[in-house]
Structure formats: structure tokens, C-alpha cells
Amino acid sequence: MFFGIGESVYDIVFKDNQPIRGVAGGSVFNTMISLGRLGYNPAFMSEIGTDKIGEMIISFMEENGVKSDNVYRFFEGKTPVSMAFLNERNEASYDFYMQYPEGRLDIVWPRIDNNDILIFGSYYSINPDLRQTIAELLEYASDRKAIIYYDPNFRKNHSSMALKLMPSIIENLEFADIVRGSDEDFLNLYNETDTDRIYNNHIKFYTPIFICTKGEGGVDLRTPLVKKHYEAKRIDAVSSIGAGDSFNAGLLHSLAKNKIEKESLNDITEEVWDEIINTAIEFASEVCQSMENYISVKFADAIIKK
């Protein structure tokens, strides 16, 4: 069973200073939609307003097989909206508009069991307003022997806060079984771009499995048994929004497909990692060729039939 916790937003996408599309989004949200389209029926924990945008997002979740039982619906405030601006290379920068109520994320945790998978990350996971609640969930999932997957997704607009937020980031790393982030995330966090330096100086002590994605530069993998680089697929990208989130979905799908258990994570062989990472790259590449934040229904159906 897959579980995720994170923000729910409505993304308005701009190209050449003109809005071209509106889609439901959020980093973990996007991963959950891809997993829902694959038939996993994942459970998503989040907070959404009772406004029109909130209703649209809830309906979209349910239409795509994502459970909304653990979504907190608030009356005061508004569902967040983000503005995603695509540059000439179709890479996105963001502005966010948020109006949350004073009370946040007032939900009951779903039942999480041994070898279930929980994905979390982004600023949402280290936001001081939510930190105690997030930490309680991580401790609960860890006690229940779930596989915990952390995507820092640490954006440039938070880089000035990195030092202040570092205790929460370190705690997230301590809970995580797998860390996957982009080179941009770690540049913003540690002012480092070299994968080995990031792994050895900042990650390895807490989490032995580390995946660093570098866009067109491919993917670096570091585990107790494997040190390897994977080339990215050469594609004509339409949008990079959701690429990392879809990479996460492909990786999590491969863990489930290969029936990987928490106790055997550090023992995964190079051959199995090849399949896992290449599947994740395939997912990310598919999303980059569309304006959606998640894998298409057609692509999901093809994966299911394999």
C-alpha cells in the first residue's frame, strides 16, 4: 500500500507570460496521481479548502483512484494556487499564493503496515507550522516498519532558510530509507553539486540509499552495494513540471513490482537497480513530453499490461 503526505495546490502554467493550462498539483500529490492511474489506490494525506478549487482537486483525486479519506477540509482560508512559469527550455519557476487557516492538517492517520511505502518531502515536511504533525507521522510509519521515501524538493526561494531548517531536514533523513532529490535541491541545501560529496558529507550517515537526478545530465545512484550513473533519455521536452514526481512514481512502482521489502533495501543488486532506475527515467521522460504533472492514463495502461 502506498501513502503520501504533502501540499495540494492548483497549478496555473504560463508560457510567454500567458496562462496556457490549469492542473491540480503538488509534489507528492503528482506522485499519488501517477500511482492511482497504475491501479494502486494510494492514500493521500493533505489539506484542501471547501472552495471551488478544493472541490475540483478532490474530484480529480477520486477520478484517478487516489483515496481522499485523510484529506483535511478547511472552511477558513483558500486552497493554495501556484503560478508555474516556463522558460525557453520549458523549465519551470514558481510563485505561490496561500491562505491557510490557523488550524492545520487535523486528520487521523491511516493504518500503515510493515513494508507499506510512505512518500513525503518538499517544504511542506519542514514547515514549522506542520513540523510536529509530520514528525509524529514519520515516527508512526517507522514504528510500523514502513519503507519511508524522502524527496527534499528544496526550492531556491527557501535557500536562505536552509541553515534554520536543517534540524528538521536531518530528522527527515534519519527517518528515511531512500532519499531522492535533484541536483538543484542539494545546491540550494548544501551549496554542493558533486554527487559523491553530497552523499558522503550530508546523506550517507543517515540514509545509505541516495538517488540524485540531474535532468538532462542523467541520474546518479549511491547504495551500500552500487555506485552508478544512468544516462537520461533524449526527448523533446514540453514541460519539466512533474518530472521528478513522476520519477518517484516510477521508482516506487518498481519497488512494489519487485516486491522489495524494508529489510532487503540495502541488499538490492545492480541488476535490479538498473530496472528500477530505468523505469523511473521512463516515467519522468513520459511526463516531460506533456503538459500534465503525472503519467498519462494511456501510459499507465501500457505499464499495467507489461
Asked if pLDDT for residue 306 goes beyond 90, the answer is: no
Burial readout 21-37 (b: 16 or more C-beta within 10 A, e: otherwise): eebbbbbbbbbbbbbbb
Write phi, then psi, for 151 (nearest 5 degrees).
Answer: -115, 100
Q: What is the SS3 string spanning the chain?
A: CEEEECCCEEEEEEECCEEEEEEEECHHHHHHHHHHHCCCCCEEEEEEECCHHHHHHHHHHHHCCCECCCEEEECCCEEEEEEEEECCCCCEEEEEEEECCCCCCCCCCCCCCCCCEEEEECHHHCCCCCHHHHHHHHHHHHHCCCEEEEECCCCHHHHHHHHHHHHHHHHHHHHCCEEEEEHHHHHHHHCCCCHHHHHHHHHCCCCCEEEEECHHHCEEEECCCCEEEECCCCCCCCCCCCHHHHHHHHHHHHHHHCCCCHHHHHHCCHHHHHHHHHHHHHHHHHHHCCCCCCCCHHHHHHHHHC
The confidence score (pLDDT) of residue 84 equals: 82
Q: How many CB atoms lie within 10 A of CB 121?
A: 28
- What confidence tens digit (pLDDT) does each residue in 180-230 have? 999 999 999 999 999 999 999 999 999 999 999 998 899 999 999 999 999
Is the Cβ–Cβ distance between 242 and 92 less than 8 Å? no
- What confidence tens digit (pLDDT) does each residue in 65-90 have? 999 999 999 998 899 998 888 888 77
The confidence score (pLDDT) of residue 92 equals: 75
Asked if pLDDT for residue 280 goes beyond 90, the answer is: yes
Give percent above pLDDT 70 in the chain.
100
The closest alpha carbon to 251, from 179, 164, 170, belongs to 179
Please state whether beta strands 209-213 and 219-222 pair in parallel, antiparallel, or not at all (unpaired): antiparallel
Whole-angstrom distance, CA of residue 188 vs CA of residue 174: 20
Instruction: Find the mean pLDDT for residues 143-167.
Output: 92
- Largest separation between any pair of C-alpha atoms in the chain: 51
The confidence score (pLDDT) of residue 301 equals: 94
Counting every residue written for the chain, the total comes to 306
- What confidence tens digit (pLDDT) does each residue in 101-147 have? 888 988 889 999 999 999 999 999 999 999 999 999 999 999 999 99
End-to-end CA gap in the chain = 20
The confidence score (pLDDT) of residue 18 equals: 87
The confidence score (pLDDT) of residue 108 equals: 87
Is the Cβ–Cβ distance between 126 and 163 less than 8 Å? no
Asked if pLDDT for residue 149 goes beyond 90, the answer is: yes
Q: What CA dihedral angle connects 61, 72, 136 and 161, to 10 degrees?
A: 80
Q: How many CB atoms lie within 10 A of CB 130?
A: 19
The confidence score (pLDDT) of residue 16 equals: 87
The confidence score (pLDDT) of residue 291 equals: 76
The confidence score (pLDDT) of residue 54 equals: 94
Burial (CB < 10 A; 0-12, 13-18, 19+), residue 16, is exposed
- 64 band by pLDDT with thresholds 50, 70 and 90: very high
Q: Which three cell numbers stand for residue 94?
A: 514558481
The confidence score (pLDDT) of residue 91 equals: 76
The confidence score (pLDDT) of residue 82 equals: 87
User: Under the phi-then-psi rule, with left for phi > 0, alpha for psi from -120 to 50, and beta for the rest, what region is 275?
Assistant: alpha
